[in-house]
Amino acid sequence: MSKITIFLIFVVFYKVINAANFATQCFLPTFHRGISNASPIAELWNVGPFDCLMYCIVNAGKTGDGCASVVYHRRFSTCQLYGHDGTFDGAKIVFATGHDYYNRTSYEGICQDRHTPSRGYAQRQKHPKVHGVKLQNGIALNSSSQKVSTPFNYPKAYYLYANEPKGECSRRQKLGYFVLKDFELTRTAPVAKVNGIDRFACLNYCAQNINAHGDFSRCVLISYDARTEECQLHDESAKEAALFTRIEPKEYTLVAEKFCFDKSLRCPAETHLRVIAGQEINDRPLHTFTHFETLNECTNACFEHPYCKAVVMQANTCTLYPTILSSNLELLRPASGRNTVVVDCKC
C-alpha cells in the first residue's frame, strides 16, 4: 500500500472520529474574515474546511513552514494557509463575505504538528500568539491578569455545538427544533427578516422555508428577539465549518435550530427540545457513546432508549441519562468540559 493511500485512509478516519474535537480544540473560527496583504504558505482547491484544518496540522510542516491560520472560501471550496495569525509584517485581518478565518490556538496533544516545520513560523516566537479569546470550559476568560486580544469584539462568553444543518426532513422523518432560550447567534447576516411576529410564527416561516413575501428562503435555524419581535431566518452560512453553531448569552432572545428524527420515534412532529449550554448532569448515566459527531445523533440515541430523558453532549461524547430535568434542576451543574450542552429529551 502506497504512502499516499495510507495518508488518505488516515485522514478519512481522523475526520470521521475527531472532526468536532479537532475544529474546536485547535482553531478559533471567525465568520466573514480573511487575511489581506500576505502570501500564503499553501493553497488547497476543491476541499472542505476540515480538509484545510487537517492539512494545516498534519501535512503543512512537510514544506518547511509552520501553519498558524487558515482562510476558507466557502463559494469556491478553497483555502489558504498562513505561517502567521494574519497580523504579521503588514498583513491585516479584514471583513470578507463568504470567507472564514481560523486562528490556530493550540499546538499540543491532538493539535501538535505531525511534521516539525524546519523553517518554523513566520512570526519570531516559537508559536504565533493566540489571536482571539482564551477559553476555559468553553467560556471566554476576562481577567485583568491576562493580556487577551479581542480584535473582533467577541462576547464575554460563547459556546459552540455541532449539528448538521437541515432545511427539510425526508418523508420518513419528523421535524423538531433545538431551542436555546436567552441566547442569540454570534453576529452573522440572516438570509431574511420578518418583523412584528411572535416566535411561533417565526418558526412557521422557517419550517416552510419562506420569507415575509412568501418566496423561497432556505432556513435551518432562527434567532428571535422577543423585545423587538424581530425574526431572523438563517441558512447554512450561519454555520461555522459547515457544522458548528456559535451562540452567546442575551436576554429575551431565542435560537431554534431544525433537526430531523424518525417518524417511528416517540416524540411528536415539531417537538421542541430545550438545550442548556455550559451545564452537565450530576446523575448516574444510562449509557455513553464516544463517536457521535452531532447533537442530532445524540438525541436520536436517547429517543431509541426506553428510559432516556436527557443527554449531555461534549465534543464527540454523548451520554444518556434517565433524569427528568423539569423536576430535578438541582442535578445540573457547571460543565467540566468545554462547549458542553444538555438537552432535555422528554417530550
- In this prediction, residues 174-183 reach a mean pLDDT of 94
Residue 308 makes CB contacts below 8 A (sequence gap 6+) with 286, 301, 302, 320, 321, 322, 345
Residue 135: beta bridge partners?
Answer: 140
C-alpha cell, 328: 430535578
Dihedral sign, Cα of residue 167, residue 171, residue 172, residue 173: positive
pLDDT band at 25 (very low <50, low <70, confident <90, very high): confident
184-240 pLDDT per residue, tens? 998 788 999 999 888 888 998 999 999 888 889 999 999 999 999 999 999 998 988
Q: CA of 303: how far to CAs of 251, 300, 314, in Å?
A: 30, 5, 18
Asked if residue 10 has pLDDT above 60, the reply is no
So what's the pLDDT on residue 124? Answer: 54
For residue 248, the SS3 value is strand
Distance separating alpha carbons of residues 168 and 177, to the nearest angstrom: 12
So what's the pLDDT on residue 76? Answer: 83
C-alpha cell, 295: 447533537
Distance separating alpha carbons of residues 275 and 278, to the nearest angstrom: 10
39-94 pLDDT per residue, tens? 899 999 988 888 899 899 989 988 889 999 999 998 888 899 999 998 888 888 88
Distance separating alpha carbons of residues 296 and 341, to the nearest angstrom: 12
C-alpha cell, 208: 416552510
- Tell me the one-letter amino acid at 314: Q
So what's the pLDDT on residue 28? Answer: 81
Q: Which of 190, 100, 191 is CA-nearest to residue 152?
A: 100
pLDDT band at 107 (very low <50, low <70, confident <90, very high): confident
Question: Considering the chain, what is the average pLDDT of its residues?
Answer: 83
C-alpha cell, 253: 432572545
Distance separating alpha carbons of residues 345 and 178, to the nearest angstrom: 10
So what's the pLDDT on residue 213? Answer: 85
Residue 35: beta bridge partners?
Answer: 93
108-157 pLDDT per residue, tens? 888 888 888 988 888 755 556 554 433 333 333 333 333 333 333 434 46
C-alpha cell, 23: 475544529
- Out of 22-26, 27-31, 58-62, 144-148, pick the least confident: 144-148
Domains of the chain, earliest start first: 3-131 (3.50.4.10), 161-344 (no CATH)
